[in-house]
Amino acid sequence: MSFDFEFTKDQLNEIIEDDADNWYDALCELLPKYGITTERRVAHFLSQCAHESGGFRRLEENLNYSAKALRAVFGRYFGDSPKRDADEYHRKPELIANYVYMDEFRKYKMGNTQDGDGWLFRGRGLKQLTGRENYTRFGKSVDMTAEEAADYVATPAGAIESACWFWNANKLNKIADTDDVKKMTKKINGGAIGLDDRLFRYNHAIKILGGDGVSVGAVEDDEDIMDVLDDIGVLRKGSRGDGVEAMQTALGISPADGIFGRGTEKALMDWQRDNDLVPDGVAGPATFEIMFS
């Protein structure tokens, strides 16, 4: 099986932020294996994965939280006794993962029952595969153990194939064929998290691949700022819309044009650094909670 259209490395370079040389050959090998062969299917796959991975640049979950960020993001785990002291976990990613991701401490189980599972099976890949249970299920599909799958997902080919496995398991090709970005996003994340960014990325990708953009899921004018931010979920370079404008206003950027470019990214990173958050230039719940509290 091959693509139903001409899929070139130059096109991929325009769609993702990372160098296409790192991804093109593996995509050409693996996407057809999972039936992701049409312009729409490829555009949806690339745009959704790009949103989740910051343009294919982040393949591993960033757990380098400060004590202050731990209290904001993982409040149910850190605080007054019997919760743990966040200061003891400050900037210690492995220690953090082996606490907050172990089934012993979680309401929603991940299959992490053995010592070190939280860190070994932390989020990796284009879709942030997380937890022993998910690594085991994916591993079976590619004839690997969970431990072997953990190493594989950390590679470009494994990052792609784990995302393809998720895509196939959730029958996302059928949704891609309908061109419904909002329905696709809800299927992936259970809500409209990051919808503006995903929509922007999809419109960009489908035009580059030779199709027409779509326009669904725009934010309504009468929603208040916090409702907008709750719906958007995550803002990063390339995002557009009311959520970006609200964040720019809070950062003191003028004019607040609703376009998340390099200047906004730098301003956000400076603000995150000043507020003891991970300065990754990505605005999510932890950033919004402090910024708009």
Give the pLDDT confidence of 262-291 residue by residue, as tens digits: 889 999 988 888 887 888 888 877 787 777
User: Domain 225-291: which CATH class?
Assistant: mainly alpha
Is the pTM of the predicted complex or chain greater than 0.85? no
Nearest to 266 by CA among 67, 276, 274: 274
- Tens of pLDDT, residue by residue over 80-136, are 878 899 999 999 999 999 999 999 998 889 999 999 999 999 999 999 999 999 999
232 falls in which pLDDT band (50, 70, 90)? low
First CA to last CA across the chain, in angstroms?
52
Digit-coded pLDDT (tens) for 106-122: 888 999 999 999 999 99
Task: Choose among 27, 3, 5, 4: nearest CA to 16.
Answer: 27
Domain residue ranges of the chain, discontinuous segments joined by +: 67-150, 225-291
- Rounded to whole angstroms, the Cα distance separating 38 from 44 reads 10
